[in-house]
């Protein structure tokens, strides 16, 4: 009988480490599992864990569930939503300058994010997510309702910094300006961790999240806009004037600058330093690797696989992911029905709702991955929950629009079928529907945020906004797309309907729009 080769001492961990180690480190550790090489594995995992902490909201990283474990709760506090005005023009000015333009644009954008994140942290806030150039932050509730005051002071300081540092941006081409709207709401919102061990997601549901987004949209550039609920908590502390929309109030910024300084430092993010190797024998190093794996695995499950691959390869040297202006197909999927139901569900009904949401999210992620795309995140919409999906970044294919159409049609079919066994709320079935928007063109793709703190890989630009706005206008269980996507897929599609041009926000002329009515079984 042939002799059996002795397995490396870390072989029991090997299946768990396949996606957490660069190919070169993995291969070397398998072939030569010496103390020196296993120390490289240890260093890789420790560095990766530190980087992953920066990619995940503090509310998640400080209390991680086991990968694949669904959990949920109601949380009270104050939410802030911000949106940047002027970024699209600045992006377009740099898009024709290749890598140099991308790097200059990223430097300005990250300078903005870094300053805003520092202010949010200093007022006991925590950044939950980047949505393009927008941000959603949470201020933890306390018995004195100081969370609302903290959010207001943070908002006022953010607007002052915007006016001082970003109102006039000089470039070689022209002068540009970045401004911001801020909306604040106080209330109860529903949080859930959903998904599979392969891909988890932290989501916020309920009308409180929607009202925060509405507050930003109903506000004014350069101002801080409060809902009536947030206003009631702080009306004695500031002066206000009526907002543009009913039930909203604009803060009058006559606050002394000293009241906006050093309000709190307890919001600063502390990252785990990880293990320290004291014993460098092979058994001791393997034990430490196992401990680090237990810590890193839950963090990694929240990162889309294509981004995780990039982070794994760059963990030891930490090089920010290079910015670029690639061609991409962007998909937005709005899920309607489940997100709104949590507000009226009984305690016994919340669990089944979360499980159904987890099932739908996991199925969509699988359909997107099968087509070579990337489900970026579940974000927040005034009428449901948006799922943001990329095709073409960070990995491009020659047929990304066809891949996106394959995924969109499969998602639509799954959403329709899931209603055959609906979950019940208040004795009534919850009907789940979707709206889907597809757009293709040049985008700005980069690792945005604080390069040594909270950050994410993100895609921005007019194409992203267009996909989101097409989703908004799509009818129930319909797929709307731009002419670029239509041109790419028309030979494959069974039926495409030309719609009346739509007037969309940010577009000078109505946009040509098409609806995908019939599509063959997914294939490439």
Domain containing 470: what range?
327-518
Domain end position, chosen among 244, 260, 276: 260
Instruction: Please name which of 401, 420, 418 lies closest in space to residue 479, comparing C-alpha atoms.
Output: 401
Instruction: Please name which of 477, 519, 513, 473 lies closest in space to residue 497, comparing C-alpha atoms.
Output: 513
171's tokens: 């470039």
Same domain, 252 and 357: no
- pLDDT reported for residue 9: 87
Same domain, 251 and 395: no
- pLDDT reported for residue 265: 44
- pLDDT reported for residue 174: 79
Same domain, 65 and 193: yes
- pLDDT reported for residue 197: 94
Residue 46 falls within a domain, yes or no? no
Same domain, 239 and 378: no
What CATH number should be reported for the domain holding residue 170? 3.30.70.1230
28's tokens: 């070397």
Residue 385 falls within a domain, yes or no? yes
Q: Considering its fold, how many domains does the chain have in total?
A: 2
Same domain, 486 and 395: yes
CA geometry: angle at 202 spanning 209 and 462, to 5°? 65
Same domain, 335 and 478: yes
Q: What is the secondary structure of 475-486 as a DSSP string?
A: -TTEEEE-HHHH
Residue 28 falls within a domain, yes or no? no
pTM: 0.92
Residue 223 falls within a domain, yes or no? yes
Residue 435 falls within a domain, yes or no? yes
Same domain, 244 and 369: no
Residue 257: is it exposed, middle or buried by C-beta count within 10 angstroms (0-12/13-18/19+)? exposed
Q: Please enumerate, as own/partner, the contacts of 135-140 that have beta carbons within 8 Å and a separation of 24 or more.
A: 135/80, 135/81, 135/82, 136/79, 136/80, 136/81, 136/204, 136/212, 136/380, 137/79, 137/80, 137/81, 137/82, 138/57, 138/59, 138/77, 138/78, 138/79, 138/80, 139/77, 139/78, 139/79, 139/80, 140/77
Instruction: Please name which of 114, 126, 133 lies closest in space to residue 150, comparing C-alpha atoms.
Output: 126
Residue 436: phi and psi, rounded to 5, are -130, 135
Residue identified by tokens 């799922």 is 387
Residue 273 falls within a domain, yes or no? no
Same domain, 234 and 337: no
- pLDDT reported for residue 156: 97
Domain end position, chosen among 260, 284, 308: 260
Residue identified by tokens 């499969």 is 410
Around 306, how many Cα atoms within 13 Å sit in the side-chain half-sphere? 21
Residue 205 falls within a domain, yes or no? yes
Same domain, 350 and 471: yes
77's tokens: 């506090």
Same domain, 255 and 331: no
Domain end position, chosen among 228, 260, 292: 260
Same domain, 333 and 254: no
Same domain, 339 and 203: no
- pLDDT reported for residue 95: 84
The residue ranges of the chain whose pLDDT is under 50 are 1, 265-270, 273, 524
Residue 416 falls within a domain, yes or no? yes
- pLDDT reported for residue 159: 97
């Amino acid at each position: 009988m042939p002799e059996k080769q002795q397995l490396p001492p870390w072989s029991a961990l090997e299946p768990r480490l396949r996606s957490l180690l660069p190919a070169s480190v993995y291969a070397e550790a398998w072939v030569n599992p010496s103390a020196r090489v296993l120390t490289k594995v240890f260093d890789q995992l420790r560095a990766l864990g530190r980087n992953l902490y920066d990619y995940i909201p503090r509310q998640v990283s400080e209390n991680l569930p086991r990968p694949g474990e669904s959990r949920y709760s109601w949380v009270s506090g104050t939410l802030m939503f911000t949106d940047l005005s002027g970024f699209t023009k600045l992006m377009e000015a740099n898009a024709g300058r290749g890598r140099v333009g991308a790097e200059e644009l990223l430097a300005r954008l990250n300078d903005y994010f870094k300053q805003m994140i520092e202010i949010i942290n200093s007022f006991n806030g925590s950044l939950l997510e980047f949505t393009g150039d927008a941000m959603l932050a949470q201020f933890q509730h306390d018995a004195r309702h100081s969370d609302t005051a903290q959010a207001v002071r943070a908002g006022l300081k953010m607007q002052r910094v915007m006016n001082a540092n970003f109102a006039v941006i000089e470039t070689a081409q022209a002068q540009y300006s970045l401004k911001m709207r801020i909306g604040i709401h106080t209330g109860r919102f529903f949080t859930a961790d959903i998904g599979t061990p392969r891909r988890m997601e932290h989501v916020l549901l309920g009308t409180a999240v929607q009202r925060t987004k509405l507050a930003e949209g109903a506000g004014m550039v350069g101002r801080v806009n409060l809902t009536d609920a947030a206003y009631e908590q702080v009306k004695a502390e500031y002066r206000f004037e009526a907002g543009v929309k009913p039930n909203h109030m604009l803060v009058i910024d006559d606050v002394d600058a000293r009241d906006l300084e050093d309000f709190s430092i307890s919001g600063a993010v502390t990252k785990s330093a990880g293990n320290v190797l004291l014993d460098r024998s092979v058994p001791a190093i393997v034990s430490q690797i196992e401990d680090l794996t237990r810590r890193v695995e839950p963090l990694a499950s929240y990162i889309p696989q294509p981004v995780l691959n990039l982070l794994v390869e760059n963990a030891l040297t930490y090089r920010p992911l290079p910015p670029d202006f690639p061609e991409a197909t962007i998909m937005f999927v709005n899920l309607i029905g489940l997100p709104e139901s949590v507000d009226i569900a009984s305690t016994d009904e919340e669990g089944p709702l979360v499980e159904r949401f987890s099932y739908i999210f996991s199925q969509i992620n699988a359909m997107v991955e099968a087509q070579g795309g990337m489900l970026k995140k579940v974000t927040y919409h005034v009428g449901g929950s948006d799922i943001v999906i990329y095709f073409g970044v960070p990995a491009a294919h020659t047929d990304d629009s066809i891949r996106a159409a394959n995924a969109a049609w499969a998602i639509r079919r799954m959403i329709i079928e899931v209603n055959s066994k609906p979950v019940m709320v208040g004795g009534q079935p919850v009907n789940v529907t979707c709206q889907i928007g597809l757009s293709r063109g040049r985008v700005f793709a980069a690792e945005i945020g604080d390069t040594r703190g909270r950050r994410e890989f993100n895609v921005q630009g007019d194409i992203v906004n267009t996909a989101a706005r097409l989703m908004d206008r799509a009818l129930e269980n319909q797929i709307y797309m731009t002419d670029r996507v239509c041109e790419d897929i028309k030979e494959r599609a069974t039926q495409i309907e030309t719609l009346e041009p739509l007037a969309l926000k940010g577009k000078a002329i109505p946009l040509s729009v098409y609806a995908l009515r019939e599509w063959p079984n997914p294939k490439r």
